[in-house]
Amino acid sequence: MTKQEFLEGKAFYVGRKRYKGESTHFYDKEVGCISKQSRSSTDEKIIITDYACNIKVIGRTGFIGFTYVMSKLVRVKYKFEDLIVFVEEGI
């Protein structure tokens, strides 16, 4: 994935796709966060979209995000090159 694709809000996998219907993520520029898309295992349509984490920094090669799990701060750091763009397959 490129930085431009990320900023445009294209859906992506973290790492490679492991199974049909695996959740994807996307950058929601309106809110400034990463959202998670839970997908159907039969046709990969989006079932529900939910918050995943806040964005702290979007850099030249990647981004840093954070969220809280049970009152504990969790930080993540990903490079754009490690994100795989979701491609909708024909049925």
pLDDT value, residue 90 = 61
Cα gap 12→72, rounded to integer Å? 26
pLDDT in tens, 33-89: 999 999 999 999 999 999 999 999 999 999 999 999 999 999 999 999 999 999 987
pLDDT at 91 over 90: no
Task: Indicate whether this model's pTM tops 0.85.
Answer: yes
Tokens at residue 15, please? 């790492």
- Long-range contacts of 76-83, Cβ-Cβ distance < 8 Å, separation of 24 or more: 78/14, 80/1, 80/2, 80/3, 80/5, 80/6, 81/1, 82/14, 82/15, 83/1, 83/6, 83/12, 83/13, 83/14
> Domains of the chain: which residue ranges?
3-85
